[in-house]
């Protein structure tokens, strides 16, 4: 499985290293040891560190999820069976957060990838200052999410916010009765989706751009007979040709989007609250996990939620990849 179109095949060419020509006898064992064992030494730091800080927590998380594990009341700790999971099914906070996560996810992923396609298409021209434009669209990508989210939090404030002012210019809101962006689901979702879109459009555009540039030129020549304009060229030729990367970005955005944490956290007027609004209007699952684990101090339940989130991500990522694949395939 290769991750991008450019990635060479995973199985490499046979490259058996020859043994050293005529090694002195006393060194022979040493060389044998070197060729046989050194590769393992080289890869072991990765696997050891991954085992401790990557794999173990995941396995252990499963155990924690089956226990009562409280930070405020350690006396209650003990095996809980599937209590945490059962509670999850009836927890309206969880379902609310799930709904929010998906709502924001759709509002951010669909425009994000579509606009990224357009931007990539713009960049996929003969331009003056190619590098300059490409670096420019990466500005949001290198900006710390914490920093940019705080800017947007000010941008979307109820009183004196720039968003309300801009909308009032086109007569959409009245400054005497300003829109409280944090009060409603729809407005808070839009605000957060805006942040996510802003952050990732340039990054995705570059991924698309690199795929677009790998499309053989004769494909366009062959398609010219149909008399396709630039717009149709994009949708009829370019997009189907970069389908693997599109699927890849869809999966990536799914994994990222469903774990959305930073934006909803810092959009809160009081980021320490982690409630995602006065009624959890925009509380995402990742944020809820943080609240349950480190504010309600109920780690067992938080661990169970993490598992639920993981399962959901798996299902949705697979589903998205499947759908995108079918859509792209249907076009041809």
Of the residues 79, 82, 95, 165, which one makes contact with another protein according to CB under 8 A: 165
Candidate ranges 78-86, 99-107, 200-208, 324-332; the one touching another protein (CB under 8 A): 200-208
Candidate ranges 94-102, 105-113, 117-125, 321-329; the one touching another protein (CB under 8 A): 117-125
Using an 8 Å Cβ cutoff, are 61 and 71 in contact?
A: no
176-209: string of b/e by CB count within 10 Å (b at 16+)?
eebbebbeebebbbbbbbbbbbbbbbbbbbbbbb
Torsion of CA 27, 30, 32, 35, to 10 degrees: -120
x/- binding map, residues 118-147, to another protein, per CB under 8 A? -x-xxxxxxxx--x-xxxxxxxxxxxxxxx
Using an 8 Å Cβ cutoff, are 66 and 82 in contact?
A: yes
Dihedral pair phi/psi, residue 68, rounded to 5°: -85, 120
Q: Is 262 a binder of another protein (CB under 8 A)? A: yes
Using an 8 Å Cβ cutoff, are 217 and 237 in contact?
A: no
Using an 8 Å Cβ cutoff, are 317 and 310 in contact?
A: no
CA 50 from chain center: how many Å?
A: 21
Q: Is 329 a binder of another protein (CB under 8 A)? A: no
CA–CA separation, 101 and 98 (whole Å): 5
Question: Within positions 299 to 328, which residues make up the interface with another protein, using CB under 8 A?
Answer: 299, 302-303, 306-307, 309-310, 313
Of the residues 192, 206, 246, 250, which one makes contact with another protein according to CB under 8 A: 206
In whole angstroms, how close is the CB of 108 to another protein at the nearest point? 13
Q: Is 224 a binder of another protein (CB under 8 A)? A: yes
Question: Within positions 31 to 90, which residues make up the interface with another protein, using CB under 8 A?
Answer: 31, 34-36, 38-40, 42-43, 45-47, 49-50, 52-61, 63-64, 69, 71-72, 74
Of the residues 98, 110, 167, 183, which one makes contact with another protein according to CB under 8 A: 183
Report the sign of the C-alpha dihedral through residues 294, 297, 298, 299, in that order. positive
In whole angstroms, how close is the CB of 22 to another protein at the nearest point? 10
> Which CB sits closer to another protein, 177 or 330?
177
Q: Is 247 a binder of another protein (CB under 8 A)? A: no
> Which CB sits closer to another protein, 71 or 110?
71
Of the residues 78, 171, 221, 231, which one makes contact with another protein according to CB under 8 A: 221
In whole angstroms, how close is the CB of 12 to another protein at the nearest point? 6
Number of residues counted as binding another protein (CB under 8 A): 152
Tokens standing for residue 264: 């909803």
> Which CB sits closer to another protein, 160 or 326?
160
CA–CA separation, 305 and 288 (whole Å): 9
In whole angstroms, how close is the CB of 100 to another protein at the nearest point? 14
> How many CA atoms are closer than 13 Å to the CA of 36, on its beta-carbon side?
6
């Amino acid at each position: 499985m290769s991750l991008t179109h450019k990635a060479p095949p995973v199985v490499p060419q046979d490259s058996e290293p020859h043994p050293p020509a005529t090694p002195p006898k006393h060194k022979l064992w040493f060389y044998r040891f070197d060729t046989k064992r050194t590769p393992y030494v080289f890869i072991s730091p990765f696997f050891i560190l991954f085992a401790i800080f990557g794999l173990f927590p995941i396995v252990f998380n499963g155990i924690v999820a089956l226990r009562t594990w409280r930070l405020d009341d350690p006396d209650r700790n003990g095996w809980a069976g599937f209590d945490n999971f059962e509670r999850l099914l009836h927890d309206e906070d969880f379902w609310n957060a799930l709904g929010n996560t998906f709502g924001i996810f759709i509002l951010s992923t669909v425009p994000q990838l579509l606009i990224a396609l357009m931007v990539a298409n713009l960049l996929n021209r003969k331009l003056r200052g190619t590098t300059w434009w490409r670096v420019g669209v990466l500005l949001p990508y290198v900006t710390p999410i914490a920093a940019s989210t705080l800017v947007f939090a000010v941008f979307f404030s109820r009183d004196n916010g720039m968003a309300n002012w801009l909308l009032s210019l086109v007569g959409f809101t009245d400054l005497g009765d300003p829109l409280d962006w944090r009060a409603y689901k729809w407005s808070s979702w839009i605000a957060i989706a805006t942040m996510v879109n802003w952050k990732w459009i340039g990054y995705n555009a570059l991924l698309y751009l690199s795929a677009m540039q790998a499309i053989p030129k004769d494909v366009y020549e062959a398609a010219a007979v149909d008399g396709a304009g630039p717009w149709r060229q994009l949708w009829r030729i370019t997009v189907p040709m970069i389908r693997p990367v599109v699927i890849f970005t869809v999966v990536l955005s799914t994994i990222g989007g469903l774990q959305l944490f930073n934006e909803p956290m810092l959009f809160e007027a009081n980021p320490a609250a982690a409630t995602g609004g006065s009624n959890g209007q925009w509380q995402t699952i990742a944020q809820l996990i943080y609240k349950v684990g480190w504010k309600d101090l109920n780690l067992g339940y938080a661990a169970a939620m993490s598992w639920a989130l993981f399962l959901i991500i798996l299902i949705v990522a697979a589903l998205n990849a499947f759908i995108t694949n079918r859509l792209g395939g249907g076009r041809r």
